[in-house]
Structure 1
Amino acid sequence: MRADQRAARHARALAGAHRQAARDMKRDTSPGTRPAAETARHDAWWARLRAAPHGYDLFQALRWLDALSPGRAPLGHAARPRDEPVRLGQQPSLAFAASMLADIHDDGAARPRIAIHGFGLFGPNGPLPTHLTEYAHERAAQHDDPTFAAFADLFHHRLILLFYRAWADAQPTVSLDRPERARFDGYIASLVGRAAHGDRPAAQADAERTSADMLAPHALYCHAGHLVRHTRNPEGLVQIVRRYFGIDARIVEHVPQWVAIERSQRCTIRATRPTLRVGAVALGVAVRDAQSRFRIVLGPLSLDAYRRFLPGGPHARQLAQWVREYVGIEFDWDVQLELAADAVPAIALGAPQGIGRTAWLGQRLEPGPARDLVVRYDVRRGGTPLHRETA
């Protein structure tokens, strides 16, 4: 590659970095334009840090500062030093410090400065000879001349920020401080087949999926271990339902049902087309099937939770989406709701009770939970079930 080609490539990379910094800085974060709550939280954090800098770790302090500056580029990603909200440096000292942070300089006229003990050129473990640490400390303490230490801080500032950024980029929890830059969300979403496509940002795609599916994206990411497996067993669905809804659940397999035979496929007398041989045809309008349907039993539930799982309720839609995500459309399923015995309401005139759902005539003879209701969420718009149930 020629020299002019290398220069053009570096110029394009630098221009891209400046464009990214401009996008990150499009919202001004000066105290005069910040919301009052954000300004108060920012000032309170700096007050705590100035009062007891030894009680904070370096990464903890920088993470707080990064989270409290949402309109700025993340620490370590800014294209220019003036775009960064803090200056970092090392305090020249030969002491074996008990904490990473040494001091906070914030006079209000310039950017705050955080001085640290370790990770620098000076100190008992630094790469420079110890007499240079003594010299820098003597010039700053005895002659009020921090020139040598300030020159070294030009390199300390950048290296410390890169050190922090390398740690922050590898922490899934830190990425949640900036939702628009949550890299690990995209990683896990790709595993479960929910990554954003095209030019849509991940946050926008997550918002669209949340409104359509009624499941928060992080709920799917939390159960990615179950969703990435090729084999889907009943235990996985039970664990998802128990953890997400916080209720007891179990699955009954091989629930029988009657599957309707299409009129064109029924066995008739004097058929005008060839039919299958004896033993391969079914007489009647339906066949009994006990291998393609299962039942999810929920409960015992409180009355409030019971109502949320009724058709049209918020938990009913979420449960239907979970089953669709985990099982797909291969199997049919229904839900049996068990209402705790002490939560069964007494029927009363004028009370908002649903017949066949939350209303029982007379006194129940069974001492246990009310388990009479079996509902299906996958019905057609006209209310007709896809298959008929067995008695």
Structure 2
Amino acid sequence: MADPAGHPRDDLTGPFAQPEAMGFFELLRRLETPGRRFGRAGGAGSEPARIGQRVRLSVATRDVAGFRPAEGDQPARVEAEVLGLLGPEGALPLHVTRWVMSRMSDRWFADAGAEATADRTFLDFCNMLQHRMLALYWRAWADARPEVQAQLGTGGRAAATVAALAGTGLPGTGEAARDSALKTRHATSLAASVHGPERLTRLLSDLVGAPVRLVEFVGHWLEVPRALQTWLGGAHAMLGAGAVVGARVFSRQGRAELRVGPLGLAGYLRLLNDQHLRARLRHAIRFAEGIETDFDLRLVLRRADKPEPRLGRCQLGRTFWLPARTATDADDLRLSAFNAGADRRAA
């Protein structure tokens, strides 16, 4: 069998070789499954094993004194040696341990035909109490370790912390929870205070499954609202202060270009025609960079995958290219202000 991460785990349902050589926490870790966990399963009968103590007067030399796999209706049992109420390290006085061992050395017969049994009454009573204490002790240790929580597939507090870093794990995040697995994988870069180009390109490359490159300071024309245009003898007519010639201005601020590819023809058509994928891509851009910057999307088709121009098989402006003397990647398709939801072809 394997854990949720795909790593092989020892089979504890049959004979288990040398459980005494393992640490106490390691043995309990291997016994746990997502549906049966110590300290959270609703009682000893619903947990992977019963935990008790093997009574002794000598100093403990190992963590686990013994392990018995489950048989029929009998649950598996783990006997701890270094932890418990009895023994030299236990909380109870040492004379109580001597008394328990003395009682266990006596032999009792239920009737004339029964076999002799040791008197384990007080030890079983202590183990009934210790099971809960040791299970909760293990639970506190396991909940503080990300590797244990990841093994069970829940993630626990570690997953909640990473999700909060990614901006998806807090109440009220709403739309931010979309593609949470993708954002969690890039939590460290999304949480960075400095927004470098790699922060966005790695996120989008993971989403579309293709290389993404960011081109900064892309020039574009900004339309000047009529109320802010210069009128001679009227508003905004002072040279050097507010006067603007024309109804638009050229700017290299506030816009960048995302080059996706080179893509194969299947990936190129998928980005063109898959509305859901484009919506996810648009959401990822807004989530990572906000709405302050406009992003053009340029799709680059690998030159070897250019379709031949045939009537009825190509779309003008999308999948149609005339044969050229030099074979280059097709990068003339650009969607202007893609993150704004326009999806319009730029000239």
Q: Mark the runs of 5 or more structure 1 residues left unpaired by the alignment.
A: 1-44, 199-204
| Equivalent of residue 316 in structure 1, options 236, 260, 278 | 278
| Equivalent of residue 162 in structure 1, options 117, 120, 136 | 136
C-alpha contact 1:57 1:101 (8 A) present in aligned 2: no
**CA 1:167–1:347 in 2, change beyond 3 Å: closer, same or farther?**
farther
Residue 254 of structure 1 corresponds to which residue in structure 2? 217
In the TM superposition, 1:1-391 aligns within 5 A as 48-52=12-16, 54=18, 58-59=24-25, 62-63=28-29, 66-69=32-35, 74-77=37-40, 80-82=43-45, 84=47, 86-92=49-55, 100=64, 102-120=66-84, 132=97, 136=101, 139=104, 144-145=117-118, 146-147=120-121, 149-175=123-149, 177=152, 179=154, 182-197=156-171, 213=178, 215=179, 217-269=180-232, 273-279=234-240, 280-310=242-272, 312-351=274-313, 353-361=314-322, 363-376=323-336, 377-378=338-339
In 1, the alpha carbon distance for the partners of 2:98 and 2:256 equals 73
Q: C-alpha deviations, 1:38-88, integer Å up to 9, x for none?
A: xxxxxxx99643332646765455446543427xxx521466545545311
CA RMSD of aligned residues (A): 4.1
| Per-residue deviation, 1:364 | 3.4
**CA 1:79–1:299 in 2, change beyond 3 Å: closer, same or farther?**
closer
| Secondary structure of residue in 1 paired with 2:137 | helix
In 2, the alpha carbon distance for the partners of 1:69 and 1:77 equals 9
**CA 1:107–1:95 in 2, change beyond 3 Å: closer, same or farther?**
farther
| Per-residue deviation, 1:132 | 5.0
**CA 1:311–1:178 in 2, change beyond 3 Å: closer, same or farther?**
same
Q: Mark the runs of 5 or more structure 2 residues left unpaired by the alignment.
A: 1-8, 108-115
| Secondary structure of residue in 1 paired with 2:130 | helix
Identity over aligned pairs, percent: 26
**CA 1:90–1:133 in 2, change beyond 3 Å: closer, same or farther?**
farther
More moved, 140-149 vs 99-108:
140-149
Q: C-alpha deviations, 1:92-128, integer Å up to 9, x for none?
A: 5769878847322423234433334543457897788
More moved, 181-190 vs 166-175:
181-190
C-alpha contact 1:336 1:373 (8 A) present in aligned 2: yes
**CA 1:246–1:336 in 2, change beyond 3 Å: closer, same or farther?**
same
| Per-residue deviation, 1:360 | 2.1
| Secondary structure of residue in 2 paired with 1:67 | coil
**CA 1:284–1:135 in 2, change beyond 3 Å: closer, same or farther?**
same
The code of the aligned residue for 2:35 comes to: S
C-alpha contact 1:298 1:336 (8 A) present in aligned 2: yes
| Per-residue deviation, 1:333 | 1.0
Hey, which of these two has a bigger chunk of helix by percent?
A: 1
| Per-residue deviation, 1:149 | 4.0
C-alpha contact 2:50 2:76 (8 A) present in aligned 1: yes
| Per-residue deviation, 1:165 | 0.6
The code of the aligned residue for 2:333 comes to: L
C-alpha contact 1:124 1:130 (8 A) present in aligned 2: no
| Secondary structure of residue in 2 paired with 1:51 | coil
Aligned residues: 323
C-alpha contact 1:338 1:370 (8 A) present in aligned 2: yes
In 1, the alpha carbon distance for the partners of 2:103 and 2:161 equals 51
C-alpha contact 1:255 1:294 (8 A) present in aligned 2: yes
C-alpha contact 2:176 2:287 (8 A) present in aligned 1: no
C-alpha contact 1:123 1:130 (8 A) present in aligned 2: no
The code of the aligned residue for 1:371 comes to: D
**CA 1:243–1:178 in 2, change beyond 3 Å: closer, same or farther?**
closer
| Per-residue deviation, 1:253 | 0.8
**CA 1:374–1:384 in 2, change beyond 3 Å: closer, same or farther?**
closer
C-alpha contact 1:248 1:298 (8 A) present in aligned 2: yes
More moved, 247-256 vs 222-231:
222-231
In 2, the alpha carbon distance for the partners of 1:222 and 1:155 equals 42
More moved, 223-232 vs 143-152:
143-152
In 2, the alpha carbon distance for the partners of 1:302 and 1:122 equals 70
Residue 34 of structure 1 corresponds to which residue in structure 2? none
Q: C-alpha deviations, 1:239-270, integer Å up to 9, x for none?
A: 3334554432221111000011112222234x
| Secondary structure of residue in 2 paired with 1:359 | coil
Q: C-alpha deviations, 1:164-204, integer Å up to 9, x for none?
A: 2112211335445365x833343334344434437xxxxxx
C-alpha contact 2:214 2:257 (8 A) present in aligned 1: yes
User: TM-score, normalized by length of structure 1?
Assistant: 0.66
| Secondary structure of residue in 2 paired with 1:52 | coil
| Per-residue deviation, 1:320 | 1.9
